[in-house]
Amino acid sequence: MIKAVRGTRDLLPPETALWNFVESAVRDVFRAYNFQEIRTPIFESTELFARGVGEETDIVSKEMYTWEDRGRSGARGPDSLLEERREELETWAQDLPVQPLLRGQERPRPLVPRPPSRAQSLTLRPEATAGIVRAYIEHKLGDRGLNKLYCMGPMFRRERPQKGRYRQFYQIDAEIIGPASAGSESPARDAEVLEMLATLLDRLGIVGWNLELNSVGCPRDRAAFNEALRKALEPVVDKMCVDCRRRAVTNPLRVFDCKVPEDQPIIETLPRISQFLDEGCRKHFEAVKEILRAVGVGFRENDRLVRGLDYYTRTAFEFTHGALGAQNAILGGGRYDGLSEALGGPPAPGIGFAIGEDRLVMSLEDTAESVLKKPDVYVAPLGVGMNAEAARLARQLRRQNLIVDLGDESFRLKKSFEAASKAGAKYILIVGENEAKASAFALKNLVTGEQVSVPRAELAEKIRGLGQSR
């Protein structure tokens, strides 16, 4: 049997109803805050993530699904070479003005031979922010002023799979980005994003979430902090895990990502970024917190929170949830005021977040029953030749916005009842020959057992529970 690849999974009904519930609630909330949808490709050039997310991050250094674009480089067999040659010939032929005349003859070589195609390294997106900022630059979205964008879809990271951690997982990502003149740098935007998230989690009925908040400062603060960290790590790093030893040299900040229990007492003694914030960053952080207090969004300051991506500046945050176990971050995000420039674009401060949809749905699983929509009615054709009449009735009821499941004339009455109960239908509608002639049908409430005969025209109303004899 061929199974789904390790770290990937099928999302099956009825769970998919929960996913739809989450996505439609998210769209409603985003609309209220004037966010609009953007859809970017699932793969991008590898360089985008190397430059955007950072080469020293775990994501880029060991978790990306990267490949050389097929048939364009590396070791190739004769078949792929032949295919490539054929593709090139066809492209030449398309450019020729006299193509029809040349059919069957040898095609001439072009005057200016094309350069041989070069290899391109591509990567399945491990996150959405870099792609969105690339699109912002490519389409000059800054000309529109402030952009409030969101997207939903699969991301890919080659991590060790465990509960709440997959190699293909889903994010709901939102970003506010634009020129500083459009207000993109304002702490009001940070607070707006955080307040929107609190509203969304409350709307979804998620209780017990915590907002962990920090400021990671600007690049200058971080350079000083990194230097201090390097110094503090020097005498103790030999006692730490392999990853920390590497990080201590390449990017000491990442030491705070360490989850190894034995390293924690050492990490506790290290300097914190909060001691290195310059005046501007400190004021910005204070302003964000002040608005959060004013709108009543609770948070916990956590100056160990550094996040696993290199583009962050100033505000950084995570929302955690106790019920999720080790992978307890439902979502994470922050400000990335220098990312556009790092990717060759204009200055464009921004702030955003990504919700791990798999984890969000996990924290909702208790409420699954209330979200699932069961059929209002199961239409049961009774006897040979009744499928057509049943289909007509089902069509009529579906057009009146009822959820209708439809049986088959080969089923005996008992089997129809079993199928209706299994589907969780509220009513069963019996469509026999006599009923069709009388144009009135036996409708049985599967919860109360009550059965009545209802004229065709009144069926929808009765099923909706608005009819007279309830």
Q: Which residues bind ligand HAM (CB under 6 A)?
A: 127-129, 157, 159, 164-166, 169, 171, 173, 175, 308-309, 329-334, 336, 352-354, 356, 358-359
Q: Are 289 and 299 in contact (CB under 8 A)?
A: yes
To the nearest whole angstrom, how small is the minimum distance from the Cβ of residue 258 to ligand HAM?
Answer: 16
Cβ proximity to ligand HAM: between 137 and 423 the closer is 137
Inter-residue contact 316 to 306 (CB < 8 Å): yes
Q: How far is the CB of 359 from ligand HAM (least distance, A)?
A: 5
Q: Taking the complex as a whole, how short is the minimal distance between the CB of residue 120 and ligand HAM, in angstroms?
A: 23
Q: How many helices (H) and strands (E) does the chain have?
A: 17, 16
Q: How far is the CB of 438 from ligand HAM (least distance, A)?
A: 57
**φ, ψ of residue 328 in degrees (nearest 5):** -95, 0
Please tell me the distance from the alpha carbon of residue 168 to that of residue 97, in angstroms, as a whole number.
Answer: 47
Instruction: Assess contact for 378 and 402: CB atoms under 8 A.
Output: no
Residue placing its CB nearer to ligand HAM in the complex, 179 or 352: 352
Nearer to ligand HAM, 216 or 330 (CB): 330
Q: Cβ contacts of residue 112 below 8 Å, gap of 6+?
A: none
In whole angstroms, the minimum distance from the beta carbon of 130 to ligand HAM comes to 8
For the bound state, the minimum distance from the C-beta of residue 31 to ligand HAM, rounded and expressed in Å, comes to 19
Residue found under tokens 């991590």: 159
What is the closest distance, in whole angstroms, from the C-beta atom of residue 7 to ligand HAM in the complex?
8
Rank residues 165 and 398 by Cβ distance to ligand HAM and give the closer one. Answer: 165
Of residues 356 and 375, the one with the C-beta less far from ligand HAM: 356
Which residue's CB atom is positioned nearest to ligand HAM?
Answer: 356
Closer CB to ligand HAM, 150 or 378, in the complex: 150
Specify the residue, 252 or 333, whose C-beta has the smaller distance to ligand HAM.
333
Please say whether the beta carbons of 406 and 391 come within 8 A: yes
Show the CA angle centred on residue 417, arms to residues 414 and 422, nearest 5°. Answer: 125
Q: How far apart are CA 325 and CA 215, in angstroms?
A: 26
Q: Could you give the angle at the alpha carbon of 223 between the alpha carbons of 221 and 224, nearest 5°?
A: 65
- φ/ψ of residue 253, rounded to 5: -55, -35
